[in-house]
Amino acid sequence: METKMTIRGVRGTIFMPQVKPNVDVIKELGEAFPDWIPSIENPDLNIRDKIVSPSGQWMLIAPDNNERIVFTPQKVDYLSFSHAEYSLDEMNKRMQRCKEAFLKLIAITKYSVTRIAFAPAFVINIKEKEYNQWIASIFSRSQFKVAELVETNFTQTFYVEEKIGDRKIVMNYISKLETERYVQNVEGINQIVPIYTIEFDINTRTNEALVFNKEEIEIFCSEAPRYGESFLNFYLMQ
């Protein structure tokens, strides 16, 4: 299928105990991400050892509001929202920032990382008729790399063994296709315009015993755009 894809957003995730907001963490992350603004979503406060800290999630937001690092109780998300035409270089650029954030965090906290994920979202610029034909064609594909299709609540899921560093890790390749409909004024007439999206979630499976070291996270972040591209090619091939 010859079509243009727009990147809607990219999420990189590592699972680790929550990093509490404190001056040291913000200052050290500030070296790599200058002028980022800390923001607290939940106004509930905890008091421990005479220090008041917010409970729940908090985040660091880029001055242009296009990037965020979100610290939730279980995981840290790096989010990049800026829209751009899809290219491997563009994905590499974003995951490079993500890698920078994660490595910095691991160096500061020394926490164990038990799961890593790469989740890009794209908009498919395609006509409705072509989209319907394409949808019909992808459901006939039941094998990605050497993995068979697994029945889940997502559009498609495959368990694929990938090499991260010296280890072979089973990863979830999950895709979710959705259609969003908006009312838009097209040539003076209000019309319902569909927007076709495809979201991936390529992640290592839940296993608290599995701990990823710094090098493996570095490798995953560098390889993630390629994992994404191979999955995208699976959908876009004729």
Partner 1 sequence: MINVESEILSSLRIDVLMQSAREYLEQSTQSSRWMIEYPALKNYSLSDYLENDAINVRKKTESLFHDDTLKLDGIELGSTSSVSINKNNEEFLNSLRLQEEDFVVSLERTDFEDGYNNSILDFVEKNISQNRYTTFLWLYGVYTRHRDDDRIITGLLRIIESKTTVADIDTFFPLVELGLKNPNPMCQEAAIMTIETWRDKQCLKLLESSNISSPLIQRYANVVVLELKKELV
Binding mask 74-113 for partner 1 (x = CB under 8 A): xx-x-------------------------------x-xx-
Phi, psi (degrees; rounded to nearest 5) at 4: -95, 140
Is 156 an interacting residue with respect to partner 1 (CB under 8 A)? Answer: no
CA 215 to chain centre: 19
Is 152 an interacting residue with respect to partner 1 (CB under 8 A)? Answer: yes
Measure the CA–CA gap between 111 and 74, rounded to whole angstroms: 12
- The SS3 of residue 155 is coil
Least Å distance, CB 23 to partner 1, is 16
Residues 162-221 that bind partner 1 (CB under 8 A): 172, 174, 201, 203, 205-209
Residues 25-84 that bind partner 1 (CB under 8 A): 48-49, 72-75, 77
Greatest extent of the chain over all pairs of C-alpha atoms, in Å = 63
DSSP label of 200: E
DSSP sequence for 38-78: EEES---EEEETTEEEE-S-EEEE-TTSSEEEEE-SSEEEE
- The SS3 of residue 118 is strand
Is 146 an interacting residue with respect to partner 1 (CB under 8 A)? Answer: no
- The SS3 of residue 209 is coil
Q: Smaller CB distance to partner 1: residue 5 or 76? A: 76
Single out the segment in contact with partner 1 by CB under 8 A; choices: 25-33, 114-122, 140-148, 188-196: 114-122
Is 148 an interacting residue with respect to partner 1 (CB under 8 A)? Answer: no
Residues near partner 1 (CB under 8 A):
11, 13, 15-18, 20, 48-49, 72-75, 77, 109, 111-112, 114-115, 117, 119, 150-154, 157, 172, 174, 201, 203, 205-209
